[in-house]
Amino acid sequence: MFKKELEKLFELQEIDINIFDLEEEIASFPGRKKQMEKEISDALAKNEAARKEHKKLQLERKEKELELEGLETEIKKLQTRINEVKTNKEYTAILSEIENLKTRRTRTEDLILSVMDKDDTISVQLKKLSENHAKLAEDVALKIKEETEKNESIMIKLKDLKEKRKDIVPGINKDIYLVYERILRGKKNGMAMCKLENGNCAGCRVFVPTYIEEKVKEKKELVHCENCSRILY
């Protein structure tokens, strides 16, 4: 008689473990989805930062090139003027000014080269980041779609299991069910029943004394683990 009750309880336990696992999976879905979306937005942010840097360098290059043009014009102007000067003093002054401008020209040319170098590196990075982002966005969108569908099917499965549970519960002895239910609510893994394995409770791994083990074998009443209070079988 009690053996039969234990079997029914065991059937309920199987359903409850399933329900627990499915509920865990459903509960973790929003977090996982958010994490996936963050992967895309992080990649996009990196991409945008590189694009901004690229634009900035291009602007800087244009600016420096204009500056260089200005310096060239000025140098040319002074070089023409130097042929027309009358005094030595004026000649020296213009020559020194030309030298100054030439130094500035060299500095600007160096700057342009350095900006071009930086921009080359950024351009390569930008290309890679854009490709990365595009691929990631595609992959993650697919993954989210798959997971969303999976989540929906889990919800249906869960609903079915809960229906099944409702059908089973009335057939179980009420007192036994209440004990089971109380233990189940107190556990964090959906398990209110545990196997006795090599003298230990499979739920908490604690040794089960022989007199309890004997009672479990008799299958005449509910026997609990002294440590975690789960029903032993």
Residues forming the site for Zn ion (CB under 5 A): 201, 203-204, 225, 227-228
- In this structure, are residues 115 and 57 in contact, taking their beta carbons and an 8 Å threshold? yes
Nearer Cβ to Zn ion (171/186): 186
Nearer Cβ to Zn ion (183/225): 225
CB of 211 to Zn ion, least distance (A): 16
Nearer Cβ to Zn ion (140/184): 184
CB of 228 to Zn ion, least distance (A): 3
Q: How far apart are CA 137 and CA 129, in angstroms?
A: 12
CB of 191 to Zn ion, least distance (A): 10
Q: How far apart are CA 192 and CA 198, in angstroms?
A: 19
Residue 131 identity: E
CB of 4 to Zn ion, least distance (A): 24
Three-state secondary-structure class, residue 197: strand
The torsion region of residue 209 among left (phi > 0), alpha (psi -120 to 50) and beta comes to beta
Nearer Cβ to Zn ion (51/187): 187
CB of 229 to Zn ion, least distance (A): 7
Spatial CA neighbour of 42 closest among 129, 148, 145, 146: 129
Measure the CA angle with vertex 141, ends 137 and 142; round to 5°: 120
Spatial CA neighbour of 133 closest among 52, 53, 48: 48
Nearer Cβ to Zn ion (43/223): 223
Q: How far apart are CA 65 and CA 6, in angstroms?
A: 88
